[in-house]
């Protein structure tokens, strides 16, 4: 570290605006949530202290358990399917030297569009019985129901739209990581007669493993926070079959005005998030040490 | 080269082609159906439009109240980007240079707040905003989205400052520069590329943001473009042609913005994500 420029009190002023904003918007309301989780509050009148009642209610609420189970399902789906597609497509892109840039742009298009637009496009133009492609096929070729309207398929349907939107991001990140694999290692493997799969398994994969691990953690975090596509496409229905912790909390806060219960779910989500956050901070530890 | 015609290379091409088709097909459906009357869409959503008459677009522009939405979206995005870039570039400097004793604590705080769920602070914040009469206020909402984007922006810009040699600060200090002058004339010009990357990513995040925007921008006067489109979907969903024209109006500016700045997008998205 440089010694000439000393530590100076005025440096604190540089951090102050960011810290102040973050404290007002995130830290203080988060602490309030911590308290509200133990109260009965409609958002307007005085909160009433309840102790652990909110948590007791939630633990005996079957919808709450269903939401947790759906969140776990969602996490498993997102840790496997988009990860696998992104890895395969990213390694295929390595072989397309001239067109890789164009491919990347195309794959990112769904990612940069707003969830409101994407959800509406899929609901209206693909799944809808009257105006969608599936409805069209239903009328002409083979019987097909709107998969969003069925308890058994709704969650997977919403997840597939979210995957369609999200996977391109993973592909671009993996591709960027793969391009940093040292070429001398790749050449050595090639000269020793290694095949495409062997090169991927023994050279590419070990090199990009830190990136995969970080994405693993990020996807886990996002899977527990996911809200947009479910809320927009099914609102948690039909019959709570797509309910997630985030949509359940939102409904408690803004539909039935049981803010205490919503806060309790928020706290619960944070607890799950905390596990992933510890992993995330641990992985970013070199940025603190450096 | 003969390698590119081998069976594996052909497979690779076919597979990539399939992925391209799946990525683009829904967007193409929007484009062709935006020009069709509702009856034609119901008959066959895959048919090409008979004419390129802009009637649907006119109806959608009015139905979605997009002239209000455009102004609100621009104000919301502009304010969020400005606040995020200014605050995070300021914070990045002393954190990277370890100029304050608590730099480790502050860095850890920002790292942790990357992973905090919005539901942990959303509910008290909403009712607080409601009591203060800030619901529907674009600038107040922008502060929330800025706070959410701050941590990652600080971390990203911090790594930018780390690439600037500390000898430059020392030289400025010896020449009698104050910390503020060092930041303004030495550090800031050198981290401008980082600021631009952060600005582009934050602009996209804000334009597309749904949870905060839909919760805090209630009432027609506060609607952004995407919220206007959502409100229109509630009223006009009976006419899919107008709906898809509305979708076009919402997505075409983002696509144009993305294509124009795609290099910056890819750089911003992969910065910090690629480890090794």
Token digits of residue A1: 């570290």
Question: At residue A138, does pLDDT exceed 60?
Answer: yes
Confidence band, pLDDT 50/70/90 cuts, at residue A43: confident
pLDDT score for B230: 93
Contact between A117 and B226 under an 8 Å Cβ cutoff? The reply is: yes
| Bridge partners (DSSP) listed for residue A49 | A39
A36 occurs within a structural domain? no
Q: From first to last of its 276 residues, what are the pLDDT tens digits of chain B? A: 445 567 777 888 899 999 999 999 999 999 999 999 898 888 888 888 888 888 899 999 999 999 999 999 999 999 999 999 999 999 999 999 888 888 889 988 998 888 888 999 999 999 999 999 999 999 999 999 999 999 999 999 998 899 999 899 889 989 988 899 999 999 999 999 999 999 999 999 999 999 999 999 998 899 999 999 999 988 777 789 999 999 999 999 999 999 999 888 888 888 877 765
Rounded CA separation B153/B86 (Å): 10
Residue A192, domain member (yes or no):
yes
Same-domain check for residues B105 and B209: yes
Asked if A1's CB is within 8 angstroms of B143's CB, the reply is no
How many folded domains does chain B comprise? Answer: 2
Distance CA B221, CA B229 (A): 14
Tokens of A154: 């709704």
What pLDDT score does B274 carry?
76
- Is A23 among the domain residues? no
Find the length of chain A: 290
- Domain identity same for B32 and B69: no
DSSP string covering B111-158, please?
HHHHT--GGGTHHHHHHHHHHHT-TT-HHHHHHHHHHHHHHHHHHHHH
Assess if residue B255 is contained within a domain.
Answer: no
Q: Quick check: is B103 in a domain?
A: yes
Q: What is the CATH number of the domain that holds A239?
A: 1.10.3720.10
Given pLDDT bands bounded at 50, 70 and 90, which one contains residue A2? very low
Determine, yes or no, domain membership for A171.
yes
Instruction: Determine the 3-state secondary structure of A48 from DSSP.
Output: strand
Number of domains in chain A: 1
In a domain, A78, yes or no: yes
pLDDT the model gives residue B1: 40
- Shared domain check, B68 and B46: no
Question: Using the beta-carbon criterion (under 8 Å), do B276 and A207 form an inter-chain contact?
Answer: yes
User: Is A156 touching B (CB cutoff 8 A)?
Assistant: no
Give the C-alpha distances (Å, rounded to integers) separating B265 from A92, A105, B19: 21, 10, 21
Residue B70 belongs to domain spanning: 64-236
- Report the gap between the CA of B42 and the closest CA in chain A (Å): 5
Are both B69 and B135 inside the same structural domain?
yes
What's the rounded Cα separation, in Å, for the pair B57 and B104? Answer: 53
pLDDT of the residue at B4: 52
Q: What is the C-alpha to C-alpha distance for residues B42 and B40, in angstroms, rounded to an integer?
A: 5
More confident residue, A20 or B274: A20
CA distance B36 to A191: 58
B248 within a domain of the structure (yes/no): no
- Pull the structure tokens for residue A134: 């599936």
Mean pLDDT over the full length of chain A: 89
State whether residue A192 is helix, strand or coil: coil
**Is B23 in contact with A259 (Cβ distance < 8 A)?**
no
Residue A39: its H or E element: strand A39-40
CB contact under 8 A, A125 and B44: no
> What is residue A3's predicted lDDT score, i.e. its pLDDT?
46
Whether the Cβ atoms of residue A232 and residue A115 lie closer than 8 Å to each other = yes
Residue B269 lies in a domain: no
Question: Is the confidence metric ipTM above 0.95 for this complex?
Answer: no
Inside any domain, residue A202: yes
Q: What is the pTM of this model?
A: 0.92
Give the torsion sign (CA, A57, A61, A63, A68): positive
Same domain, B29 and B152: no
Tell me which residue range forms the domain holding A112.
64-289
* pLDDT tens-digit map of A185-229: 888 988 888 887 888 888 999 999 989 998 998 898 888 889 999
- A258 in helix, strand or coil? coil
User: To the nearest whole percent, how much of chain A has pLDDT over 90?
Assistant: 59
Q: Is A262 on the interface with B (CB under 8 A)?
A: yes
CATH of the domain at B79: 1.10.3720.10
Q: Nearest 5°: phi and psi at B120?
A: -75, -25
Question: Would the CB atoms of A176 and B270 count as touching at under 8 Å?
Answer: yes
Residues B232 and B103 in one domain: yes
pLDDT on residue A227: 95
Answer for the pair A18, B150: CB distance below 8 angstroms, yes or no: yes
The verdict on B185 and B98 lying in the same domain is: yes
Select from A95, A266, A274 the Cβ nearest to the Cβ of B119: A266
Q: Which residue has the higher pLDDT, A6 or B3?
A: A6
């Amino acid at each position: 570290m440089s010694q000439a420029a000393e530590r100076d009190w005025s440096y604190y002023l540089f951090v102050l605006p960011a810290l102040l904003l973050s404290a007002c918007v995130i830290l203080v309301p988060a602490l309030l949530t911590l308290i509200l989780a133990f109260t009965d509050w409609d958002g307007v009148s005085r909160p009433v202290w309840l102790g652990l009642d909110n948590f007791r209610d939630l633990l005996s609420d079957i919808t709450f358990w269903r939401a947790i189970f759906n969140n776990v399902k969602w996490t498993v789906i997102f840790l496997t399917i988009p990860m696998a597609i992104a890895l395969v497509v990213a390694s295929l892109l390595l072989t397309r030297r001239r067109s890789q840039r164009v491919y990347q742009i195309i794959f990112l298009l769904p990612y940069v569009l707003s969830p409101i637009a994407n959800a509406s496009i899929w609901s209206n133009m693909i799944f809808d019985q009257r105006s969608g492609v599936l409805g069209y096929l239903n009328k002409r070729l083979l019987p097909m129901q709107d998969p969003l309207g069925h308890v058994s398929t709704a969650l997977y349907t919403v997840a597939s739209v979210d995957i369609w939107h999200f996977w391109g991001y993973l592909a671009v990140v993996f591709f960027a990581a793969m391009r940093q694999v040292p070429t001398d290692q790749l050449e050595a493997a090639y000269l020793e007669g290694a095949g495409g799969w062997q090169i991927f398994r023994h050279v590419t994969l070990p090199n990009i493993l830190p990136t995969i691990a970080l994405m693993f953690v990020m996807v886990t975090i996002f899977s527990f926070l996911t809200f947009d596509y479910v809320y927009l496409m099914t609102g948690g229905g039909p019959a709570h079959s797509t309910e997630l912790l985030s949509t359940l909390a939102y409904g408690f806060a803004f539909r039935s005005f049981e803010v205490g219960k919503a806060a309790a779910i928020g706290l619960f989500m944070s607890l799950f998030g905390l596990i992933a956050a510890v992993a995330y901070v641990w992985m970013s530890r070199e940025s603190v040490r450096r | 080269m003969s390698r590119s015609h081998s069976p594996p290379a052909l497979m690779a091409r076919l597979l990539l082609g399939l992925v391209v088709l799946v990525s683009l097909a829904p967007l193409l459906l929007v484009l062709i159906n935006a020009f069709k009357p509702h009856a034609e869409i119901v008959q066959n959503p895959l048919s090409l439009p008979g004419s390129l008459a802009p009637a649907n677009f006119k109806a959608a522009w009015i139905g979605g109240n997009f002239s209000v939405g455009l102004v609100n979206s621009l104000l919301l995005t502009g304010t969020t980007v400005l606040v995020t870039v200014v605050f995070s570039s300021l914070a990045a400097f002393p954190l990277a240079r370890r100029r304050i004793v608590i730099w480790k604590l502050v860095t850890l705080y920002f790292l942790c707040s990357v992973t905090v769920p919005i539901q942990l602070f959303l509910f008290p914040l909403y009712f607080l905003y409601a009591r203060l009469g800030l619901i529907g206020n674009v600038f107040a909402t922008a502060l929330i989205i800025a706070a959410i984007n701050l941590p990652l922006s600080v971390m990203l810009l911090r790594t930018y400052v780390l690439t600037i040699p500390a000898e430059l600060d020392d030289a400025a200090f010896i020449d009698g520069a104050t910390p503020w002058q060092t930041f303004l004339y030495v550090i800031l010009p050198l981290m401008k590329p980082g600021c631009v990357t952060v600005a582009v990513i934050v602009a996209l995040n804000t334009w597309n943001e749904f949870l905060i925007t839909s919760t805090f921008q209630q009432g027609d006067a506060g609607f952004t473009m995407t919220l206007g489109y959502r409100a229109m979907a509630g009223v006009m969903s009976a006419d899919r042609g107008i709906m898809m024209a509305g979708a076009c109006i919402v997505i075409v500016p983002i696509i144009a913005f993305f294509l124009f700045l795609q290099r910056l997008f890819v750089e911003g998205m992969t910065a910090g994500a690629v480890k090794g």
